[in-house]
């Protein structure tokens, strides 16, 4: 028998109160044998037994079993797609939904409310998802490794085969519980065995996986190798305009459809970081995406095409080429050309998931194209799930950003939800932070990001604090003063990480390739387009109309605001401007003094985080507490290293001492 070598995360269903009696289930308009309905009922039963000790007994069609309370599952087509209405009282509870996914989410809402301490009679919730697509992107490789993975190996793949276990089902439950409806199982860098996921070698297992996902209303997607006609088909080209290439794809897609009909579609990274793509043949990104999309439209599938396209062989001496510009430069011209089962997936910033960067001007810059937001909860640049970094506040900032693309309905949340332009497709995706570690996410506290992303994608109006508190209640069930401590830790963690690492939007300065820990000049003379341009007088990248012109990719209001250091939001000052160390910030502090102060502060606050965690020791399960404590030890080493290296570097460059005379090396 398989041993459950993993935690149940926020679905641990520890008792919240002692209930009594039994529950029966009544169906109205829903088929009790539907796979998703069965999953929903199973979950309700497991949850109620754990949370309250109450039994759930299924009433037979004659209603012969007498139950104290009834859970009524009612189809109500007046509710928007995948939405639900949940109410409970002394009589029992009712979940109304227009479809099975909505029903499942309604059941999970009911469970969440109970797990968060609400009593029957207090529960009333009505919600429909903000975003049609709510996806997780795994960067799992088929050898079992995970690109940018910080929590063990893949639980989907090992030694070039697909793993299906009880863990697969638990994973699907976790995802459904926060409203995820699409999962890409393999890395966007499709190489080696992964190219063969769309062949007979793997069809059976891919299908089996897709069936487990389907039980939880989740579509399985695959990352696709654009050069498949060459690698699998033995052809010499993969030109999207070649008739032979198109015919090859037609045959391939029909074969896939026959074998894995439950699929949702494909994610493609093309012409990026060495991946093949349409540029090789002088074609546009739209040519590539449309070719595939047209072939699969008949199956109801979609193409998710990434906009992370830039020149990764830049010359650092060249100050005109700007990686930040690349996405917009490559994709904006074809706005309107993408067919309607193509959706462009756009990283939140124009660089690459830094702790702070500007919001990508493509979001809302495209007005006639399906678009979705891509964020990263795998902590590649944000502490490798060693350092505590609750990322929901960052995502909220992005979602709330005014693009000025349309009056009154112009935030990124509006745009990607499809509210602004009425696109056929829209949504949010996260590069996920899970692996086969016992606790799934390396750091137990990093699961707040996994939970939080799903909740936020489902309801972008939730606050970072609400999400944090829900996650804490469902995971640890703390007394309110202790819950406050942990909530505060989570909410402050992103800013603290920012303080001891990068400042005012400059980014990078990380150890090349690995991306953990400081290396101020690590990327300064590299080919990756990631420079801070520091000299003895100042630091920052001039992206104004006198520099690379990146600021001009925004709508007028933002373009003007960013172009002028006086109106540019200070936290992004060095993203847009090259600034002297003696420049006075709004606080009256010089830039150099700000660098010193923020780093010393960041280090001190990281120490405070670790101390707060120590105070929680009596109330957190010992193993979990210990795992996280070990991470904090490492975080403090990291924070000290960052603080000392950054301060020393800029002291040596500028020759300006710290006003407060603290130790700098
Ligand atoms: O930031 C880069 C990462 C790569 C990743 C790439 C991408 C999957 O360092 O590891 O490749 O982003 O988003 O495609």
d(CA 223, CA 136): 12
- Taking the centre of ligand 1 as the mean of its atom positions, its distance from the CA of residue 138, in whole angstroms, is 12
Atom of ligand 1 nearest to the CA of 515: 9
Of 638, 388, 612, give the one whose Cα is nearest residue 493.
Answer: 388
Ligand 1: residue whose CA is nearest its atom 11: 189
pLDDT of residue 121: 85
Q: What are phi and psi of 419, to 5 degrees?
A: -60, -40
Binned at pLDDT 50, 70 and 90, residue 1 comes out as very low
Residue 57's contacts (CB-CB under 8 Å, 6 or more residues apart) are 22, 23, 24, 65, 67
pLDDT of residue 60: 54
Among left, alpha and beta (phi > 0; psi -120 to 50; other), residue 549 is left
Q: Which of 380, 437, 470, 597 is catalytic?
A: 380
Q: What is the pLDDT of residue 177?
A: 98
pLDDT(10) > 80: yes
| Mutational pocket test of ligand 1: of 137, 139, 149, 274, the residue with most ligand atoms within 8 Å of the beta carbon | 139
Say how far apart CA 2 and CA 109 lie, in whole Å: 30
Query: Ligand 1 center to residue 382 CA distance, Å?
Result: 14
- The residues with which 95 forms a beta bridge, in sequence order, are 73, 86
**Is the pLDDT assigned to residue 90 strictly greater than 90?**
no
- Taking alpha carbons only, the member of 153, 147, 231, 249 closest to residue 188 is 147
Average pLDDT score over residue span 142-152: 98
- Give, for ligand 1, the residue of 140, 145, 147 to mutate: max count of ligand atoms closer than 8 Å to Cβ: 147
pTM listed for this prediction: 0.98
For the beta carbon of residue 623, count every other beta carbon within 10 angstroms: 12
Q: How far apart are CA 297 and CA 307, in angstroms?
A: 21
> 252-280: per-residue pLDDT in tens?
999 999 999 999 999 999 999 999 999 99
Q: How many residues are there in the chain?
A: 665
- Cα separation, 350 vs 587, in Å, equals 28
Tell me: pLDDT of 61 over 80.
no
Whether residue 500 contacts residue 602, with contact meaning beta carbons closer than 8 Å, is answered with yes
The mean pLDDT of 605-634, rounded to a whole number, is: 98
For residues 95 and 278, what is the distance between their CA atoms, to the nearest angstrom? 48
CATH topology (fold) of 133-475: TIM Barrel (3.20.20)
| C-alpha–C-alpha distance, residues 324 and 331, integer Å | 13
pLDDT band at 656 (very low <50, low <70, confident <90, very high): very high
The full DSSP string for 49-63 is: HHHH--EE----TT-
Q: Cα(219) to centroid of ligand 1, in Å?
A: 23
How much distance in Å is there from the Cα of 81 to the middle of ligand 1? Answer: 33
Q: What is the DSSP letter of 273?
A: T
User: Is 170 noted as a catalytic residue in this protein?
Assistant: no
Q: Which of 55, 166, 30, 173 is nearest to 105 (CA)?
A: 173
CA-nearest residue for atom 1, ligand 1, is 352
Q: Which listed residue (77, 204, 273, 545) is catalytic?
A: 273
Closest CA relative to residue 108, chosen from 84, 137, 132: 84
Alpha-carbon span 647 to 641, nearest angstrom: 10
- Regarding the beta carbon of 269 and ligand 1, being less than 6 Å apart is answered yes
Instruction: Please determine, for residue 64, whether its predicted confidence score (pLDDT) is greater than 90.
Output: no
Q: What is the pLDDT of residue 57?
A: 78
| Local confidence band at 472 (pLDDT 50, 70, 90 cut-offs) | very high
Ligand 1 contact, 27 CB (< 6 A): no
Catalytic pick among 43, 76, 352, 597: 352
46 alpha carbon – ligand 1 mean position (Å)? 39
Measured in Å, residue 313 CA sits from the centre of ligand 1 at 15
- 145 C-beta closer than 6 A to ligand 1: no
Which of the listed residues 137, 189, 381 should we mutate to test ligand 1's pocket, taking the one with most ligand atoms within 8 A of CB? 189
**pLDDT tens-digit map of 538-553:** 999 999 999 999 999 9
> What CATH superfamily classification does 500-541+578-654 receive?
Alpha-glucuronidase, C-terminal domain (3.90.1330.10)
Distance CA 450, CA 468 (A): 11
147 in contact with ligand 1, CB cutoff 6 A: yes
165, HSE (Cβ side, Cα atoms, 13 Å): 16
Mark 120-153 as b/e (b = at least 16 C-beta within 10 Å): beebebebbbbbbbbbbbbbbbbebebebbbbbb
Q: Ligand 1 centroid vs 366 CA: distance in angstroms?
A: 23
Helix-then-strand count for the chain, H and E: 17, 18
Q: Which residues pair with 429 in a beta bridge?
A: 135, 374
Contact 451, 467 (CB under 8 A): yes
Residue 516 DSSP one-character state: -
pLDDT bracket for residue 4 (50, 70, 90)? confident
Domain ranges of the chain: 6-127, 133-475, 500-541+578-654
**Residue 347 in contact with ligand 1 by CB distance below 6 A:** no
**What is the number of the ligand 1 atom nearest to the C-alpha of 147?**
10
Q: What is the CATH architecture of 6-127?
A: 2-Layer Sandwich (3.30)
**Ligand 1 centroid to residue 353 C-alpha, Å:** 9
* Spatial separation of the C-alpha atoms in residues 238 and 226, rounded to whole Å: 7
* Ligand 1 atom closest to 347 (CA): 13
273 is catalytic: yes
Q: Is 571 a catalytic residue?
A: no
Mean residue pLDDT of the chain comes to: 96
Confidence at 3, pLDDT banded by 50, 70, 90: low
What is the reported pLDDT for 68? Answer: 85
Relative to beta strand 302-306, strand 342-347 is: parallel
Give nearest CA residue, ligand 1 atom 2. Answer: 352
Q: From the CA atom positions of the chain, what is the Rg in Å? A: 25
């Amino acid at each position: 028998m398989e041993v459950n070598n993993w935690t149940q995360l926020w679905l641990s269903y520890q008792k919240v109160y002692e209930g009594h009696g039994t529950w029966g289930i009544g169906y109205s308009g829903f088929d009790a044998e539907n796979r998703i309905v069965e999953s929903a009922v199973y979950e309700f039963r497991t949850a109620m037994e754990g949370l309250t000790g109450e039994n759930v007994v299924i009433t037979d069609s004659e209603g012969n079993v007498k139950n104290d309370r009834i859970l009524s599952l009612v189809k109500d087509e007046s509710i928007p797609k995948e939405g639900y209405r949940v109410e409970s009282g002394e009589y029992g509870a009712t979940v109304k939904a227009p479809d099975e996914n909505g029903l499942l989410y309604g059941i999970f809402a009911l469970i969440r409310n109970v797990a968060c301490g609400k009593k029957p009679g207090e529960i009333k919730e009505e919600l429909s998802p903000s975003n049609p697509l709510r996806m997780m992107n795994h960067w799992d490789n088929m050898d079992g490794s995970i690109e940018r993975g910080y929590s063990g190996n893949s639980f989907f793949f090992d030694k070039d085969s697909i793993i299906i276990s009880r863990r697969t089902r638990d994973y699907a439950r976790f995802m459904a519980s926060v409203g995820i409806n699409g999962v890409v199982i393999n890395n966007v860098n499709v190489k080696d065995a992964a190219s063969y996921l769309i062949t007979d070698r793997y069809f059976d297992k891919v299908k089996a996986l897709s069936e487990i996902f389907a039980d939880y209303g989740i579509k399985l997607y695959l990352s696709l190798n654009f050069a498949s006609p060459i690698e699998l088909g033995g052809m010499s080209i993969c030109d999207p305009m070649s008739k032979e290439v198109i015919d090859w794809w037609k045959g391939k897609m029909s074969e896939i459809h026959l074998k894995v009909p439950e699929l949702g579609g494909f994610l493609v990274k093309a012409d990026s970081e060495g991946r093949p793509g349409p540029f090789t043949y002088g074609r546009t990104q739209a040519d590539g995406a449309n070719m595939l999309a047209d072939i699969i439209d008949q199956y109801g599938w979609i193409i998710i095409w990434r906009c992370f396209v830039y020149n990764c062989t830049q010359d650092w001496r060249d100050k005109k080429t700007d990686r930040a510009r690349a996405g917009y430069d490559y994709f904006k011209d074809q706005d309107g050309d993408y067919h309607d089962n193509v959706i462009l997936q756009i990283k939140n910033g124009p660089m690459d998931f830094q702790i702070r960067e500007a919001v990508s001007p493509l979001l809302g810059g495209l007005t006639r194209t399906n678009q979705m937001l891509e964020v990263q909860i795998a902590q590649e640049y944000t502490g490798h799930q060693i350092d505590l970094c609750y990322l929901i506040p960052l995502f909220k900032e992005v979602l709330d950003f005014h693009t000025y693309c349309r009056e009154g309905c112009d935030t990124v949340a509006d745009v990607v939800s499809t509210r602004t332009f009425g696109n056929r497709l829209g949504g949010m995706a996260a590069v996920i932070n899970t692996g086969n570690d016992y606790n799934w996410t390396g750091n137990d506290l990093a699961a707040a990001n996994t939970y939080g992303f799903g909740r936020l994608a489902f309801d972008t109006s939730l606050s970072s604090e609400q999400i944090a508190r829900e996650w804490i209640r469902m995971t640890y069930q703390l007394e309110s003063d202790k819950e406050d401590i942990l909530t505060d830790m989570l909410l402050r963690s992103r800013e603290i990480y920012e303080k001891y690492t990068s400042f005012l939007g400059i980014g990078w300065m990380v150890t090349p390739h690995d991306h953990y820990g400081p290396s101020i000049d690590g990327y300064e003379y590299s080919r990756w387009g990631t420079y801070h341009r520091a000299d003895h007088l100042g630091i920052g990248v001039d992206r104004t109309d006198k520099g690379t012109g990146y600021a001009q990719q925004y709508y007028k209001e933002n373009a003007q605001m960013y172009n002028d250091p006086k109106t540019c939001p200070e936290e992004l000052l060095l993203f847009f401007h090259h600034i002297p160390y003696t420049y006075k910030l709004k606080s009256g502090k010089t830039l150099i003094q700000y660098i010193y102060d923020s780093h010393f502060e960041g280090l001190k606050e990281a120490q405070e985080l670790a101390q707060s965690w120590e105070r929680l020791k009596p109330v957190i399960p010992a193993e979990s507490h210990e795992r996280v404590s070990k991470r904090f030890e490492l975080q403090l080493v990291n924070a000290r290293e960052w603080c000392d290296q950054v301060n020393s570097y800029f002291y040596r460059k500028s020759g300006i001492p710290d006003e407060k005379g603290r130790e700098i090396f």
